[in-house]
Amino acid sequence: MDIRFPKEKKARVIVNTDAKNEADDQFAIVHALLTPCFDLHGIIPAHFGTHKTAKSMEASRAEVDKLLELMQWQGKVVVRNGAPKAIPDEQTPVPSPGAELIIEEALRDDPRPLHVAFYGPLTDMASALLMEPKIEERNIRVIWIGGGPWPIGGREYNLSNDINAANVVFRSQLEVWQIPSTVYRLMPVSYAELMEKVYPHGPLGRYLVEQLVEWNMQNVDGHIEHRSLGDSPAVGVIMYPNCGRWEWRPAPEFDQQMHYLHTGANRPIRVYESVDARFIHEDFFAKLAQFARQ
């Protein structure tokens, strides 16, 4: 059965991804691409700092291109490069084609909310806000995989790559859905599960599993037979916003040690306390299998 979604029933989505940082972005990118209820307006490759490579955004772009090639979807999806580095302060954007894409889609005359899913730092959202302040008045939902445990916070990788950008976005009037580290770490898959449900599904499935195992072997100490697909909740909550427990909390700010500063001065944001890993993983496995059969 081919279920077709009319345009007005589809979620407007842009994906912003530090695709080559680890091994889980790849799963969340493919998941978004294969989700028919998404009206995907583009993918923005993002930087992930300079401690791994001086050209991290370019590495993310190459990884996005590789996934599209494996899917034989070259030219079917808009890809616009994001900023090559973090914003230098809370007043200065780093302009990029990716930030321009966010502005362009935010200003489009469309009654549907624009969901911008960030699998890494918030650099391009903050830059878009600083470049065109009018988008703060638009119907935008920022879904962010990032930030440390509530209510204290502390070091968290995505936040560490642009603390200034996080402050710009959290102080804004935009609707933010935060998926902090305590939640995105609750997305484990075992190697056995990946070998049964992902690896058999063509060159794309093989690549997804092989690059994950390779990354673990090179970067994780000790015995390991699992990986948390920590970026995938961003796809799940756009598909089904109540696929986890959440509550509205006044938006905090961040100090340079990445602790939350609860000023009480900002509007509420949606903070997820849990997500339904079964719903998200099984949806991805089924869509990948369907794609491979086609």
Render pLDDT for 45-100 as a digit per residue (tens, 0 to 9).
999 999 899 999 999 999 999 999 999 999 999 999 999 999 999 999 999 999 99
* Amino acid identity, position 52: K
**pLDDT tens digit sequence for 249-268:** 999 999 999 999 999 999 99
The stretches of the chain forming alpha helices (DSSP H) are 25-33, 56-71, 97-106, 123-131, 157-160, 163-171, 181-184, 191-197, 202-219, 233-239, 277-293
Superfamily of domain 8-293 in CATH is Ribonucleoside hydrolase-like (3.90.245.10)
28-38 pLDDT tens trace? 999 999 999 99
Q: Round to whole Å and give the CA distance between 174 and 138.
A: 8
Nearest to 80 by CA among 42, 118, 54, 52: 42
Beta bridge partners of 115: 13, 141
Q: Where do the domains of the chain lie?
A: 8-293
pLDDT at position 3, please?
86
State the chain's mean pLDDT as an integer: 97
Residue among 50, 175, 66 at smallest CA distance from 121: 50
Helix, strand, coil distribution of the chain in percent, nearest 5: 40, 20, 40
CA atoms within 13 A of residue 99's CA, in its CB half-sphere:
24
Please tell me the pTM assigned to this model: 0.98
Do 205 and 292 contact (CB within 8 A), yes or no? yes
Using pLDDT thresholds of 50, 70 and 90, give the confidence band for residue 223: confident
- CA-wise closest residue to 215 among 232, 229, 203, 234: 229
